[in-house]
Amino acid sequence: MSRGGVAFGDRLAEVFDAHGRLCVGIDPHAHLLESWGLTDSAAGVREFGLAVVEAAVGRAGIVKPQVAFFERYGSAGYAALEDVLAAAREAGLLVIADAKRGDIGTSVAAYAEAWLTPGAPLEADAMTISAFQGVGSIAEPMRLAEDAGKGLFVLAATSNPEAEGIQKAVVESGPRAGSTVARAIIDDVTSFNQAQPAHAFGTVGLVLGATLDLGSYGIDTATASVVATPVLAPGFGHQGARVQDAARLFGSLAGGVIVSESRGLLKAGPRAIADAIERRAAEVRSVDV
């Protein structure tokens, strides 16, 4: 396992205890680069990412680079991302690569190797991943994550309206027949975590939008899981969800919620970003989730 042999779920619990639940998104939109006085280039996103990492250190424990905003500059963008990932991990931050990869067989295994292999150029502590070809399609990334002390966050109920029809669709066959797609993904993730050695949180977590009515997706948030499940929850801050409502929104899953915020913090600009993170982290810590 990476980071001294400590499992991802145990390190996540340590971060919660030391710094709270705030996850600072590193999303270098073109308009943010402009407002920060940076060029719309690989050099600009590198400087942006490193500045956010520096601002987060000692104030928050988790950062989440959005890979797409680096990828649009090609190989130079990936070189910039490698520098940002390395700086964040060297500073002791827990790094979630928001890559949203998904495929089958050896292809999806290669994605996992790229982001989760200790010592790899793109090494992160966890990555986001899609399982809409079935959770069985990501069996190899789940195994690799468990073996390497890394984490995965599987898209289950995302907040973009285009996804609602698919995520609420009902599975017609197999052991999850009758469940919504979102609920089937959650149940498959839970089953995997239950079969692994005990950790403070499961190796495989979920992406659940904080702006959603999860009950309408067939997700019973009152039912406690045997294994505490990490939940990457976008939608707080700029998108309108309130941390004070986390317990009501996520029920038994609330204990694993990572409060993910990007634009609401990044708009503060390079001179005020550190103060914005510090204030928001303190606010998140003050809420009893």
**Could you read off the pLDDT of 112-163 as tens digits, one per residue?**
999 999 999 999 999 999 999 999 999 999 999 999 999 999 999 998 889 9
Q: Is the pLDDT of residue 221 over 90?
A: no
Average pLDDT rounded to a whole number, residues 45-73:
98
Residues spanned by the domain of 57: 2-282
CATH number, domain of 18, equals: 3.20.20.70
Please report whether residue 287 resides in a domain.
no
State the Cα–Cα distance between residues 205 and 252, nearest whole angstrom.
14
At 3, is the pLDDT very low, low, confident or very high (cuts 50, 70, 90)?
low
Q: For residue 173, what is the DSSP state?
A: S
Q: Is the pLDDT of residue 181 over 80?
A: yes
Known catalytic residues?
100
Q: Is the pLDDT of residue 201 over 70?
A: yes
Q: Is the pLDDT of residue 224 over 70?
A: no
Please report whether residue 16 resides in a domain.
yes
- pLDDT the model gives residue 87: 98
Q: What is the mean pLDDT of the chain?
A: 94
Number of domains in the chain: 1
User: How many residues are present in the chain?
Assistant: 289
- pLDDT the model gives residue 208: 96
- For 1, residues 6+ apart whose C-beta sits below 8 A from its C-beta are 7, 147, 148, 149
Please report whether residue 288 resides in a domain.
no
Please report whether residue 254 resides in a domain.
yes
Please report whether residue 120 resides in a domain.
yes
- Give yes or no for a contact between 69 and 48, defined as CB atoms under 8 angstroms apart: no
- pLDDT the model gives residue 240: 74
- pLDDT the model gives residue 288: 73
What are 17-44's pLDDT values in tens digits? 999 999 999 999 999 999 999 999 999 9
Please report whether residue 151 resides in a domain.
yes
Nearest to 98 by CA among 71, 120, 73: 71
What are 150-170's pLDDT values in tens digits? 999 999 999 888 999 999 999
Please report whether residue 55 resides in a domain.
yes
What are 83-92's pLDDT values in tens digits? 999 999 999 9
Residue in this structure with the two tokens 């009902």, named with its chain if needed:
170
State the Cα–Cα distance between residues 262 and 28, nearest whole angstrom.
10
- Give yes or no for a contact between 153 and 205, defined as CB atoms under 8 angstroms apart: yes
Tell me the H-state helices in 149-180: 164-167
State the Cα–Cα distance between residues 33 and 37, nearest whole angstrom.
6
Nearest to 72 by CA among 100, 32, 41: 41
- pLDDT the model gives residue 72: 97
What is the sign, positive or negative, of the torsion defined by CA atoms of 70, 272, 59, 278? negative
Please report whether residue 85 resides in a domain.
yes
Beta-carbon-side half-sphere exposure of residue 176 (alpha carbons within 13 Å)? 20
- Give yes or no for a contact between 157 and 128, defined as CB atoms under 8 angstroms apart: no
